Amino acid sequence: MKRLLIAITSLLIICAGLAFGSNELQKTTGDTGSKVLNLYNWGDYIDPSLITKFQKETGYHVNVETFDSNEAMYTKIKQGGTNYDLTVPSDYMVQKMKQDKLLIPLDKSQLTGISNYGQDYMNKTFDPGNKYSLPYFWGTLGIIYNDKYIKKGSIAHWNQLWDKKYKNRIMLIDSARDIMGLSLISMGKSVNTTNTADLKAAKRKLDKLAPNVKAVVADEIKMYMAEGEAPLAVDWSGEAAEMMSQNSHLHYVVPTEGSNMWFDNLVIPKTAKHFTAIYKFLNFMSEPENAAKNAEYIGYSTPNTKAFKLLPKQIQTDKQFYPDQQVIDRLQVYKNLSQQKVEQYNDLYLEFKMKH
């Protein structure tokens, strides 16, 4: 009898677990009710207080599911079976999703905050006329250094990373386009080159950088740099901002010869169902007060120029994250490449990465 009771109890627990799991699955793949918005976003990429504020103001419940790469997001939306109303691809992925007919055009007659965005951040090559996207955040790729080990102001160029004095002292973000890109820029080449000879030359140059590389890591790079584990790192501007908030000896610089300028964007995937909620949310996030609050929380640069004016002066004047126009003019935006070329970039990068 005791075994029978245990078996029955176990069965009831399993059934309850399955019911709970089904409920949670519905949450993650998107509630199909009429008073919801299903947001598919990068992890920790919106101020939670803004979600609360939006829900209170509109009565719409926001379901948030996260992804960790553009490619993972793309694959899930392409496969279907989800109810995402909004997602946040980067520049080249907007172009790819548009080409693959995975996006719904914006109805600009329902948008009330387009004029809040600066012209430097609109009408980019990946989405001419912003037919499908609104800019969410922008940023750069650069070098973070610790002034306890490296003289303040002495880092200004990508090529300095190859100096033998930095043997086993540099951390790199684990990103094929970015690491191949910095090598290409250091050679005066485009980050979007499809020239095989240029790509192989960039990889050979990276091989020469390998002795200086302490580690190739992802999110852990923030902890390591904040704790002073390495004097140098290559990472994105927003990640640098988070590191710097934890360690006053850290500084961020965009090399003078140029770098990548990236844009993350709000788009409507073909899976969208709740269009009233979608436009309420887009307009809510376009309001200067909300966009400024989000920028302070996330640490990346806002494309909303009216929001920028609401930011604290120390943020507005920080050239590390809001560089001068002459720096911006030298930045390059990634373009969507053919599958063959994406694989070539990835293969060459992996060959370099295997040296660690």
The answer to whether 295 and 302 have CB atoms below 8 angstroms apart is yes
Query: Per the domain annotation, does 337 fall within a domain?
Result: yes
Burial of 23 (0-12, 13-18, 19+ CB in 10 A): exposed
Structure tokens at 257: 């010869």
Q: Output the pLDDT for position 33.
A: 65
pLDDT greater at residue 320 or residue 170: 170
Q: Output the pLDDT for position 116.
A: 98
Q: Report the CATH number that the domain containing residue 199 is assigned in CATH.
A: 3.40.190.10
Over residues 335-356, mean pLDDT: 93
Which position has the token pair 């600066």? Answer: 118
Amino acid at 355: K
The answer to whether 60 and 279 have CB atoms below 8 angstroms apart is no
Whole-number percent of the chain with pLDDT over 70: 90
Residue 32 pLDDT class (50, 70, 90 cuts): low
Domain limits for position 170? 139-261+323-354
Pairing of strands 170-173, 213-217: parallel
Q: Are 284 and 231 within one domain?
A: no
The answer to whether 264 and 42 have CB atoms below 8 angstroms apart is yes
Neighbours of 118 (CB within 10 A): 15
Report angle CA 284, 289, 291 to the nearest 5 degrees.
Answer: 65
Q: Are 190 and 113 within one domain?
A: no
Residue 23 has pLDDT above 50, yes or no: no
Residue 263 has pLDDT above 50, yes or no: yes
Over residues 249-268, mean pLDDT: 96
Q: Output the pLDDT for position 68.
A: 87
Tell me the H-state helices in 46-167: 48-58, 70-79, 91-99
Over residues 267-286, mean pLDDT: 97
Whole-number percent of the chain with pLDDT over 90: 84
Q: Please give the C-alpha separations between residue 150 and each of 26, 106, 169, 245, 258, in angstroms, as whole numbers.
A: 51, 48, 11, 19, 21
Pairing of strands 232-236, 133-146: antiparallel
Over residues 120-144, mean pLDDT: 96
Q: pTM of the entire structure?
A: 0.83
Q: What is the pLDDT of residues 119-130, one digit of tens each?
A: 989 999 999 999
Q: Are 132 and 57 within one domain?
A: yes
Counted domains in the chain: 2
Q: Output the pLDDT for position 2.
A: 28
Query: Per the domain annotation, does 277 fall within a domain?
Result: yes
Q: What is the pLDDT of residues 285-340, one digit of tens each?
A: 999 999 999 999 998 999 999 999 999 999 999 999 999 888 899 999 999 999 99
Q: What percent helix, strand, coil does the chain show, rounded to 5?
A: 50, 20, 35
Residue 208 has pLDDT above 90, yes or no: yes
State the Cα–Cα distance between residues 186 and 68, nearest whole angstrom.
28
Over residues 204-231, mean pLDDT: 96
Whole-number CA gyration radius for the chain: 22
Query: Per the domain annotation, does 14 fall within a domain?
Result: no
Q: Are 158 and 212 within one domain?
A: yes
Residue 10 pLDDT class (50, 70, 90 cuts): very low
Q: Output the pLDDT for position 25.
A: 36
Residue 9 has pLDDT above 50, yes or no: no
Q: Are 215 and 101 within one domain?
A: no
Residue 22 has pLDDT above 80, yes or no: no
pLDDT greater at residue 30 or residue 93: 93
Query: Per the domain annotation, does 12 fall within a domain?
Result: no
Burial of 314 (0-12, 13-18, 19+ CB in 10 A): exposed
Query: Per the domain annotation, does 235 fall within a domain?
Result: yes
The answer to whether 352 and 207 have CB atoms below 8 angstroms apart is yes
Q: Are 256 and 272 within one domain?
A: no
Q: What is the pLDDT of residues 67-104, one digit of tens each?
A: 988 999 999 999 999 999 999 999 999 999 999 999 99
Q: Are 330 and 187 within one domain?
A: yes
Q: Are 104 and 129 within one domain?
A: yes
